[in-house]
Structure 1
Amino acid sequence: MSIQSEVSPQEWAVRKELAAAYKLAFLHRMSDHIYTHISACVPGGEEHFLINAYGLTFDEITPESLVKVDLEGKVILDTTGLGINPAGYVIHSAIHGARHDVGCVMHTHTAAGVAVSTQERGLQMISQHAMRFHQRLSYHAYEGVALDMDEQERLVADLGSTNAMVLQNHGLLVCGVDVADAFDAMYYLERACQIQVNALAGGEKIIKPSAAVAEKVARQFDNPDRVSRAKQWPAMLRLLERNKALFGAA
């Protein structure tokens, strides 16, 4: 059913962006069956956010199927009747509640991301992709499946003011001012993990640039005037359009 007429134009725009991010995550093999989540704040100041219905795979997500909930976990709008994953609620509501500068949160369980999350040294600054996160990446120790509400306080404390975090023995998490920003960060973090796993598996001695060079790269990516910021999301949406046959009528 279409709900476009039932929500504000601003919410509908976010729903479209968020549904696109789910499909792009599917295309880039960053999904994990019906698990993991991308959430986005609903404009309007009511502290509601959108998240995937529990039981749909990423390629099935549409603007209409996204579930609107409040920070207490009350479902505001759910056209699917499927509800939401409690673990997703615990993680995403914690960050949306604590970080009002964050418009979108993306969490993944990719093979490379989980692999790096198990490594004692974490993400190493051995690629340009990784150096984007130099001194801008936090870590959270594994406590089991995220079902305990008291973990929220520790999760938020470990995230601090960073916008990217490795959930040890678990996966990756990023924050962005909007959906496009969060997806871009996750794309780079995921690629950095893939590169690290492949490089370490090669058996050769790794070239490690200096901390000064790594910081230079991070600052170059931090640049708000970086031209690619305005170019990358539209390019991703064009990629999605070219692959729309994969998603059927959705």
Structure 2
Amino acid sequence: MAPSAVSPTFTPSTKTLKEDLEHASGDPSLAFIQDETTSPPVFEDKYEERKFLKHRLALAFRIFARFGFAEGVAGHITIRDPVDPTSFWVNPFGMHFSLIKDEDLIRIDHKGNVVDGGKNRRLNYAAYAIHAQIHTARPDVLCAAHSHTKFGRAMCATGRTLQPLTQDSCVFYNDHILYSNFAGVVLASEEGAAIASTLGPRKAALLGNHGLLTVAPTIEACVAWFVLLESCCEVQLLADASSAGSGQKLVEIGEVEAMNTWKALGGASGGYFMGLPLFQVAEKEFGESTFLGRGLEAL
């Protein structure tokens, strides 16, 4: 199936602040100081990295459960396997997000075969159809997340992308798309490829009449962006309702200001750092604590 039209186009790297802006808010690089806290730990041993990422994935499902993103058997988060990058780890089909542990995760190759994992090796084929294509098309993507959230679904029924109404929505400014071609449950690799193609180099997609999708080079950024995208959809819908009721037009953030905000908050390091507090809370369910995602500490 042909990809849907992309809206808006992806142009963050081509924009610059106007020097004569009266209320320029400062250097975007000051939002997150670049040091070891704004990037994930690096592993020499790929098997140790696999162990670490699987645990982070289990934590990610606890976060989704905490936010109410578990909708029946729908929804999946994947991480590319560091040992065999032509495969990825995902949740077993039919297990609630709040119960998933490291040993429950299953590993899928890009042909849709379950090659490793826990006792329940059922595969949600839609997870394979979408995520295998994204991981193939985007070598930069470690993690991809999709679920059927309340406000995400409502926003995806409007046929629109987010407007730059708030500082938070600017994280997705020119960095998300609408995939409007709903053809039913995604059970064909061709449809997954079309979604990946329309997504291009961006971080998020509104899948028309379906739900939200985020991708990132770290699991922390992917989860943080998904949680934020759901919240931005809620704010957009509330603002739309307020505007319709009052007759007052919504006030959008200007192009230059929105781009400056994206530069400050929309990058991968910012997404990673934004996700760390979410994971800190989820660690408590396992009786664990880390310092900014680096090494277990005694509680």
- Provide the secondary structure at the position in 1 that maps to 2:71: coil
Structure exhibiting the larger radius of gyration computed from Cα positions: 2
- Provide the secondary structure at the position in 2 that maps to 1:132: helix
User: 2:62 aligns to what?
Assistant: 23
> 1:90 & 1:225 partners in 2: Cα distance?
29
Query: Where do 5+ consecutive residues of structure 1 fail to align?
Result: 1-6, 246-250
CA contact (8 A) 2:170 2:266 kept: no
User: 1:248 aligns to what?
Assistant: none
**Are positions 1:238 and 2:277 aligned together?**
no
Higher relative contact order (CA 8 A, sep 6+): 2
TM-fit CA distance, 1:224? 6.1
**Are positions 1:12 and 2:56 aligned together?**
no
**Are positions 1:212 and 2:256 aligned together?**
yes
Flag the 1:209–1:95 CA change in 2: closer, same or farther, 3 A: same
TM-fit CA distance, 1:229? 4.3
TM-fit CA distance, 1:235? 2.0
The one-letter code sitting in structure 2 at the alignment partner of 1:201 is: A
TM-fit CA distance, 1:8? 2.3
Flag the 1:208–1:147 CA change in 2: closer, same or farther, 3 A: same
CA contact (8 A) 1:55 1:82 kept: no
TM-fit CA distance, 1:98? 1.2
> 1:76 & 1:225 partners in 2: Cα distance?
32
Deviations 1:40-85 (A, max 9, x none): 0110244110001001011011110010111111111132234210
The one-letter code sitting in structure 2 at the alignment partner of 1:181 is: A
Flag the 1:159–1:234 CA change in 2: closer, same or farther, 3 A: closer
- Provide the secondary structure at the position in 2 that maps to 1:143: coil
> 2:178 & 2:126 partners in 1: Cα distance?
18
Superposition TM-score, scaled by structure 2 size: 0.74
> 1:116 & 1:33 partners in 2: Cα distance?
20
Flag the 1:156–1:237 CA change in 2: closer, same or farther, 3 A: closer
Flag the 1:10–1:242 CA change in 2: closer, same or farther, 3 A: closer
Matches within 5 A, 1:135-154: 135-140=174-179, 141-154=181-194
CA contact (8 A) 1:34 1:58 kept: no
CA contact (8 A) 2:160 2:178 kept: no
Superposition TM-score, scaled by structure 1 size: 0.88
**Are positions 1:74 and 2:74 aligned together?**
no
Matches within 5 A, 1:1-250: 8-140=47-179, 141-202=181-242, 203-204=245-246, 205=248, 206-223=250-267, 226=270, 229-230=272-273, 232-242=274-284
CA contact (8 A) 1:132 1:221 kept: yes
Between 1:167-176 and 1:215-224, the stretch displaced more is 215-224
> 1:24 & 1:42 partners in 2: Cα distance?
21
TM-fit CA distance, 1:225? 6.4
Identity of aligned residues (%): 25
The one-letter code sitting in structure 2 at the alignment partner of 1:171 is: G
